[in-house]
Amino acid sequence: MQNQKDVEKPLNPKTVKNIHGVLHSALQQAVRIGYLKTNPASLTILPKRSNAEITPLQDKQVAQFLQAIKGHPFERVYLVDLFTGIRQSEILGLKWEDIDFERGQITIRRQLQFLGHNHGGYCFTTPKNNKNRQIIPARFVMDVLKRQRIRQMEQRLAAGPAWDNCDDLVFTDELGHHLKHDLIYRHLKRIFANMDLPSLRFHDLRHSYAVLSIQAGDDIKTVQENLGHYSAAFTLDVYGHVTEGMKRDSAERMERYIEKLAR
């Protein structure tokens, strides 16, 4: 029989921070009403959060990926994620009321989350950080959504009375039912495996969008707001290596300019 210590895994630093935040708030309330003189949780030394290694698609891989998903049933789901950075649950929770074709704008108002079979299965929740956000994507993305609307109309006609999209979701199956996370993920993993990129995940499409945006010259604040991060500092923390490379490129351009002046 295994020792309990052998099977226990240390908590993720982010989880520890979340637990500490709840405990700190509770103890702070005790300070306010006079039960405690000071908050002992204020003296806690929290573990540093280690950044998970991100694996964005490189330019050649993006082109390869676009070719690999042509005609795939979930092609438009993958395209929207790659070129907007919207989270998977946010994409699956998109309703047509969230798409403003006149303004070329997408509003993120909810997520479609799977809470487990014992907790109600799939349900709508608020976006991460409990904040709605507006995204103005490339025209290409809006064209993808227009094609999705046409395709969904065709599916509705084909399904007839069996059609059931009561939530008016943007992405559904052929009968109007919401798409499931694991199905989307399994198909994507097979695509990545065929590209000799078996370690990539759905979230790496989001990372790819962020890196492409920064390399294209988007400022960190814009990237942060598009991704729905709670702060620009967090975005910099995750993608700092990208901006570091851009700084070096900038320094090299300045060096060439100075050399030109010295001639």
Q: Is 255 part of any domain?
A: no
Do 172 and 198 lie in one domain? The reply is yes
Judge if 88 and 173 occupy the same domain.
yes
Separation CA 112–CA 16 (nearest Å)? 26
d(Cα 127, Cα 137) in Å, to the nearest integer? Answer: 18
**Could you tell me the pTM of the whole model?**
0.76
Highest mean pLDDT: which of 11-20, 36-45, 194-203?
194-203
* Shared-domain flag, residues 73 and 198: yes
Above 60 in pLDDT, residue 4?
Answer: no
Domain holding 184, by residue range, is 59-218
Q: Select from 181, 203, 218 the last residue of a domain.
A: 218
How many folded domains does the chain comprise?
2
Q: So what's the pLDDT on residue 147?
A: 98
Question: From CA 113, how far away is CA 91, in angstroms rounded?
Answer: 11
Which pLDDT score, from 0 to 100, does residue 7 have? Answer: 47
Give yes or no: residues 28 and 99 share one domain: no
Residue 51, pLDDT score? 55
With a CB cutoff of 8 Å and minimum separation 6, the contacts of 30 are 36, 39
Same domain, 23 and 138: no
